[in-house]
Amino acid sequence: MIKILIVEDSEEIRDILRILLLEQKNTAVYEAQNLEEAVSQTNCVFPDIVILDLNLPDGSGTTLCKKIRSNPHIYGTPAIIALTADTRQESVNNNLISGCDGYITKPFNHSEFIIRINKFIDRVPKKKNTTLVLDNIKIEMNKKEVVYDGEIVSLSKNEFSILEYFVINRGILLSKPKILNYMWNDDFDVSEKAIDQCLKRLRKKIPILKENIVSKRGFGYMLK
């Protein structure tokens, strides 16, 4: 599975990119709308490709690019593709010097975007360890295996999925409808109580989550 992180504050552009990327084979798409979320996602997901808007609400995307390139032991070595409306040669050169592997201009043609992104997808090693880490919890994505304090924890499919989802979105407040959509794909026969029950079982199996997953009354949950 090739993991692609979209860092873009425009929900409309994120939606377009997500749809285009999910049409490609063997891709998983993650999203962040600012630098803070992007750093958290990169540290947890270890994406293969980062599509990075350079003009974000809380700073320049170049900051994230430099952080990733300066700390490969923490963030990995993803391909970074800048999204920018500034096509001046000086700006392009600065982005490449900062560590971007390429750039896509805004607004972009959908067909051209697919051609460009597939060149980067083709470069990703076919066999790559996909591991998420949260403190003393290790999630092996390929094996669907969770190790806590050095021991394998037996989880159901739903328990594994919700743990994966929270770790990927650490620090982000997740509404119950959003969690339901991720886990059960708009199955309207599933109530929000299913989330509460699933988390109750998960917290029992992995005690550290009792404090780390907090409930926001009337909205949903967040992994601290």
pLDDT at position 126: 60
- With 70 as the cut, is the pLDDT of residue 79 above it? yes
Q: What are the tens digits of pLDDT across the range 2-53?
A: 899 999 999 999 999 999 998 887 888 999 999 989 988 887 788 899 999 9
Q: What are the tens digits of pLDDT across the range 107-148?
A: 889 999 999 899 888 888 665 557 888 888 988 877 888 999
- Say if residues 167 and 223 touch (Cβ distance below 8 Å): yes
Which of the four pLDDT bands, split at 50, 70 and 90, describes residue 74?
Answer: confident
Which of the four pLDDT bands, split at 50, 70 and 90, describes residue 87?
Answer: low
Q: Domains of the chain, with CATH numbers? A: 2-123 (3.40.50.2300), 131-223 (1.10.10.10)
pLDDT at position 153: 94
Q: Using CA atoms, how far apart are residues 191 and 195, in angstroms rounded to an integer? A: 8
Of 32, 5, 26, the C-alpha closest to 142 is: 26
pLDDT at position 178: 81
Calculate helix-pair angle for 176-184, 193-205, nearest 10 degrees: 80
The token pair at 39 is 């750093």
Rounded average pLDDT over 190-216 = 89
Q: Are strands 27-32 and 2-7 parallel, antiparallel or unpaired?
A: parallel
Q: What pTM was estimated for this model as a whole?
A: 0.59
Rounded average pLDDT over 51-76 = 86
Residue 103: CA atoms inside 13 Å, Cβ hemisphere, count? 26
Measured CA to CA in angstroms, residue 106 lies from 35, 86, 175, 181, 205 at distances of: 19, 8, 31, 30, 47
- Say if residues 104 and 81 touch (Cβ distance below 8 Å): yes
pLDDT at position 185: 59
Of 174, 178, 182, 175, the C-alpha closest to 157 is: 182
Which of the four pLDDT bands, split at 50, 70 and 90, describes residue 154?
Answer: very high
Which of the four pLDDT bands, split at 50, 70 and 90, describes residue 189?
Answer: low
